[in-house]
Protein backbone atom coordinates (compact mmCIF):
# COMPACT_ATOMS: atom_id res chain seq x y z
CA UNK A 1 0.00 0.00 0.00
CA UNK A 2 2.86 2.39 0.78
CA UNK A 3 4.42 1.63 -2.62
CA UNK A 4 1.14 2.58 -4.34
CA UNK A 5 0.99 5.88 -2.45
CA UNK A 6 4.58 6.70 -3.36
CA UNK A 7 4.07 5.77 -7.01
CA UNK A 8 0.88 7.85 -7.13
CA UNK A 9 2.65 10.87 -5.63
CA UNK A 10 5.53 10.57 -8.12
CA UNK A 11 3.58 9.66 -11.26
CA UNK A 12 0.66 12.05 -10.84
CA UNK A 13 2.71 15.19 -11.61
CA UNK A 14 4.37 13.37 -14.52
CA UNK A 15 0.95 12.59 -16.03
CA UNK A 16 0.15 16.29 -15.91
CA UNK A 17 3.15 17.08 -18.15
CA UNK A 18 2.46 14.28 -20.63
CA UNK A 19 -1.26 14.86 -21.06
CA UNK A 20 -2.92 18.17 -21.88
CA UNK A 21 -6.20 16.85 -20.55
CA UNK A 22 -6.98 13.94 -18.31
CA UNK A 23 -10.19 12.01 -18.71
CA UNK A 24 -11.68 9.42 -16.43
CA UNK A 25 -14.72 7.17 -16.52
CA UNK A 26 -16.58 6.18 -13.36
CA UNK A 27 -19.57 3.93 -12.86
CA UNK A 28 -22.48 4.23 -10.48
CA UNK A 29 -23.32 0.55 -10.18
CA UNK A 30 -26.83 0.20 -8.76
CA UNK A 31 -28.41 -2.97 -7.39
CA UNK A 32 -32.07 -3.73 -6.61
CA UNK A 33 -31.90 -2.09 -3.15
CA UNK A 34 -31.26 0.39 -4.57
CA UNK A 35 -27.74 0.37 -3.22
CA UNK A 36 -24.61 1.75 -4.89
CA UNK A 37 -21.17 0.17 -5.18
CA UNK A 38 -18.34 2.23 -3.69
CA UNK A 39 -14.62 1.54 -3.42
CA UNK A 40 -11.89 2.68 -1.05
CA UNK A 41 -8.49 3.26 -2.64
CA UNK A 42 -5.14 2.54 -1.05
CA UNK A 43 -3.73 5.88 -2.22
CA UNK A 44 -6.44 8.40 -1.27
CA UNK A 45 -8.97 8.71 1.54
CA UNK A 46 -12.70 8.18 1.36
CA UNK A 47 -15.18 6.11 -0.61
CA UNK A 48 -15.58 6.71 -4.35
CA UNK A 49 -17.30 5.30 -7.41
CA UNK A 50 -15.19 2.65 -9.17
CA UNK A 51 -13.44 3.80 -12.32
CA UNK A 52 -10.25 5.27 -13.65
CA UNK A 53 -8.40 6.88 -16.48
CA UNK A 54 -9.19 6.55 -20.16
CA UNK A 55 -6.09 5.23 -21.92
CA UNK A 56 -4.77 6.27 -25.34
CA UNK A 57 -6.88 4.71 -28.09
CA UNK A 58 -9.62 3.67 -25.64
CA UNK A 59 -13.23 4.86 -25.64
CA UNK A 60 -14.84 6.06 -22.43
CA UNK A 61 -17.24 3.09 -22.55
CA UNK A 62 -14.33 0.64 -22.93
CA UNK A 63 -12.43 2.33 -20.09
CA UNK A 64 -15.51 2.08 -17.88
CA UNK A 65 -15.93 -1.64 -18.61
CA UNK A 66 -12.22 -2.33 -18.04
CA UNK A 67 -12.04 -0.39 -14.78
CA UNK A 68 -15.23 -1.89 -13.33
CA UNK A 69 -14.06 -5.41 -14.08
CA UNK A 70 -10.52 -4.83 -12.77
CA UNK A 71 -11.51 -3.02 -9.58
CA UNK A 72 -14.76 -4.73 -8.60
CA UNK A 73 -15.37 -7.77 -10.82
CA UNK A 74 -18.48 -6.11 -12.29
CA UNK A 75 -19.19 -6.97 -15.92
CA UNK A 76 -21.53 -4.58 -17.74
CA UNK A 77 -24.46 -6.43 -19.32
CA UNK A 78 -26.48 -3.64 -20.93
CA UNK A 79 -25.73 -0.18 -22.21
CA UNK A 80 -24.68 2.15 -19.38
CA UNK A 81 -26.39 5.53 -19.25
CA UNK A 82 -24.14 8.59 -19.44
CA UNK A 83 -25.11 10.73 -16.45
CA UNK A 84 -22.75 13.59 -17.26
CA UNK A 85 -19.28 14.90 -17.91
CA UNK A 86 -17.83 16.80 -14.97
CA UNK A 87 -14.85 19.12 -14.53
CA UNK A 88 -12.72 17.90 -11.62
CA UNK A 89 -10.10 20.59 -11.17
CA UNK A 90 -9.27 19.66 -7.56
CA UNK A 91 -6.28 17.51 -8.59
CA UNK A 92 -5.50 18.69 -12.13
CA UNK A 93 -6.44 21.98 -13.76
CA UNK A 94 -7.87 20.17 -16.82
CA UNK A 95 -9.33 16.89 -15.55
CA UNK A 96 -12.78 15.66 -16.57
CA UNK A 97 -14.79 12.66 -15.41
CA UNK A 98 -17.50 10.89 -17.40
CA UNK A 99 -20.00 9.30 -15.02
CA UNK A 100 -22.18 6.42 -16.15
CA UNK A 101 -25.15 4.78 -14.45
CA UNK A 102 -24.84 0.99 -14.62
CA UNK A 103 -28.05 -0.90 -13.88
CA UNK A 104 -27.55 -4.07 -15.96
CA UNK A 105 -24.52 -5.99 -14.75
CA UNK A 106 -23.28 -9.24 -13.27
CA UNK A 107 -20.43 -9.96 -10.88
CA UNK A 108 -18.81 -13.33 -11.50
CA UNK A 109 -15.98 -12.56 -9.09
CA UNK A 110 -15.05 -10.15 -6.32
CA UNK A 111 -11.36 -9.21 -6.48
CA UNK A 112 -9.37 -9.56 -3.28
CA UNK A 113 -8.26 -6.31 -1.64
CA UNK A 114 -4.98 -5.01 -3.05
CA UNK A 115 -2.84 -1.87 -3.03
CA UNK A 116 -5.19 -0.02 -5.35
CA UNK A 117 -8.63 -1.08 -4.03
CA UNK A 118 -8.48 -1.93 -0.34
CA UNK A 119 -12.25 -2.26 0.18
CA UNK A 120 -15.50 -2.30 -1.77
CA UNK A 121 -19.12 -2.67 -0.79
CA UNK A 122 -22.70 -1.79 -1.69
CA UNK A 123 -24.34 0.92 0.41
CA UNK A 124 -27.93 2.08 0.77
CA UNK A 125 -28.39 5.71 -0.22
CA UNK A 126 -29.37 6.63 3.35
CA UNK A 127 -26.43 4.72 4.85
CA UNK A 128 -23.38 5.95 2.91
CA UNK A 129 -20.07 5.90 4.81
CA UNK A 130 -19.39 9.26 6.51
CA UNK A 131 -16.23 9.72 4.43
CA UNK A 132 -17.93 9.23 1.05
CA UNK A 133 -16.35 11.70 -1.38
CA UNK A 134 -18.36 14.88 -1.95
CA UNK A 135 -18.32 14.36 -5.73
CA UNK A 136 -19.98 10.97 -5.28
CA UNK A 137 -22.56 12.47 -2.94
CA UNK A 138 -23.29 15.21 -5.49
CA UNK A 139 -23.84 12.71 -8.31
CA UNK A 140 -26.14 10.57 -6.16
CA UNK A 141 -28.20 13.63 -5.20
CA UNK A 142 -28.56 14.51 -8.89
CA UNK A 143 -29.73 11.02 -9.78
CA UNK A 144 -31.91 10.11 -6.82
CA UNK A 145 -33.00 13.44 -5.30
CA UNK A 146 -33.48 15.62 -8.36
CA UNK A 147 -30.65 18.02 -7.59
CA UNK A 148 -29.80 20.03 -10.74
CA UNK A 149 -26.89 18.65 -12.73
CA UNK A 150 -23.62 20.49 -12.09
CA UNK A 151 -20.69 20.97 -14.48
CA UNK A 152 -18.20 20.56 -11.65
CA UNK A 153 -17.29 17.51 -9.66
Whether domain 2-144 has CATH 3.40.630.30: the reply is no
How far is it, in rounded angstroms, from Cα 83 to Cα 5? 30
Nearest Cα to Cα of residue 99 among 114, 83, 116, 77: 83
Q: Which pLDDT score is estimated for 9?
A: 60
pLDDT tens digits, residue range 60-72?
999 999 999 999 9
pLDDT tens digits, residue range 110-153?
999 999 999 999 999 999 999 999 999 999 999 999 999 999 99
3-state helix, strand, coil in the chain (%, to 5): 30, 35, 40
Q: What pTM did the predictor assign?
A: 0.86
pLDDT tens digits, residue range 37-80?
999 999 999 999 999 999 999 999 999 999 999 999 999 999 99
Domain-by-domain residue ranges, the chain?
2-144
Amino acid sequence: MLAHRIAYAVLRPLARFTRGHTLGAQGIVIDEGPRVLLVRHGYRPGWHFPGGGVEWGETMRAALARELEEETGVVIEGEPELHGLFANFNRYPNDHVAVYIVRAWRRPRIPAPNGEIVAQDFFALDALPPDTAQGARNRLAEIFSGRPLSERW
